[in-house]
Structure 1
Amino acid sequence: MTSVYIALGSNLQTPIAQLEAALTALANLPATQLIEVSSFYQSKPLGPQDQPDYVNAVAHLHTTLPPLPLLDHLQQIENTQGRVRLRRWGERTLDLDILLYDNVICQTERLTLPHYDMTNREFVIVPLFEIAPNLCLPHGQPLVELMKQFENHQMQKIHTVSTD
């Protein structure tokens, strides 16, 4: 089984419910086990500020799905939950991104691993650190080092998830 970390985000149509439904869908993916989920955090939008705050989390999965079929499943979950891409970094019912796929480093037209900008996003690093504080990124950078730049983040923890 491969260790995978997925970022979840929503700011439309009851975001907490959107993330919970996405977690159920992730847990039901073929050849996949949901291992752990961070708390849900409320964060300001990355892009245009004329949209609601986001709810973000990170999920840890074990899977035998290869990266591109996993990406296909994630996009299917997004579409099932009403994802419409209106503008770059705009509002959305659900956004699912593969952050890390074991220690794989790749860049294709459809997928970049590790996620191309994850190290600059507090709404990714803070919840990832919550569930994997000893993680080292594929390039060798310890997550604990990345977390230092976000120690004074302004996100609010708004929901805790149990995977029992």
Structure 2
Amino acid sequence: MTVCAYLALGSNIGDRVLTLQQAIRKLHEQPGMQVSRVSFVYETDPVGYVDQDAFLNMVVAVETSLSADELLNAALSVEKELGRVRTIRWGPRTIDIDVLLYDQATIQNEHLMIPHPAMTERAFVLVPLRDVWEGEALPVYNQSIDHFLSQLAEDHKGVRKWGAINWETESGPSES
């Protein structure tokens, strides 16, 4: 049995586009996982620790037979392969992969919280999630993505559509 899950990807160190392309391809190559939809890429201002370069952020939808914990472990493995080092909270990173949603599940344990606890408070997650979301209300919340975007105090100026990437061919950006 497979379920649909949504992963947020972000990068602000090195060749951000290449890193995102590699991350998507490596996720797609994981046993039990297939990338089904890819959002546009958005350039966003850093949140939390602001003394760093802008991020490129996006969301991918995956069809997976992995459990939620196995999906998290696969994401962490891809981060490690791509050189992710955890030093400063919310600090610069080659790649960050967060599990946002896993089917209709609510999961809370010491390693994983689904839905992602800050997802509805971050335009840089919600805007690309809206690109790949199929459905009306988000599971658990019973509210639309647009509802949460309308509730955010900031006006999304920090989330700028950057373009699209073709992760299957590693071609450069395409402006859309």
Residue number in structure 1 paired with 2:174: none
Residue number in structure 2 paired with 1:33: 34
Residue number in structure 2 paired with 1:76: 77
Residue number in structure 2 paired with 1:147: 149
Aligned length: 164
The TM-score, its normalising length taken from structure 2, stands at 0.87
- Shift of the alpha carbon at 1:89? 0.5
When residues 102 and 133 of structure 1 are mapped into structure 2, their CA distance, relative to the original with a 3 A threshold, is closer
Aligned partner of residue 27 in structure 2, secondary structure: helix
Q: Which runs of 4+ in 1 moved over 3 A?
A: 149-152, 161-164
CA contact under 8 A between 2:21 and 2:167: conserved in structure 1?
Answer: no
CA distance, structure 2, for counterparts of residue 48 and residue 93 of structure 1: 15
CA distance, structure 2, for counterparts of residue 58 and residue 108 of structure 1: 23
Structure 2 counterpart of 1:141, which letter? Q
Q: Identical aligned pairs, as a percentage?
A: 37
Gaps of 5+ in 1: none
Residue number in structure 1 paired with 2:87: 86
CA contact under 8 A between 2:106 and 2:114: conserved in structure 1?
Answer: yes
When residues 96 and 135 of structure 1 are mapped into structure 2, their CA distance, relative to the original with a 3 A threshold, is farther
When residues 163 and 134 of structure 1 are mapped into structure 2, their CA distance, relative to the original with a 3 A threshold, is farther
- Per-residue CA deviation, residues 62-104 of structure 1 (Å, 9 max, x unaligned), is 0000011111111010001000011110000000000000110
The TM-score, its normalising length taken from structure 1, stands at 0.93
Gaps of 5+ in 2: 169-176
CA contact under 8 A between 2:24 and 2:167: conserved in structure 1?
Answer: no
Deviates more, 1:130-139 or 1:105-114: 130-139
Structure 1 counterpart of 2:115, which letter? P
Residue number in structure 1 paired with 2:43: 42
CA distance, structure 1, for counterparts of residue 132 and residue 167 of structure 2: 12
RMSD of Structure 2 on Structure 1 (CA)? 1.7
CA distance, structure 1, for counterparts of residue 34 and residue 99 of structure 2: 15
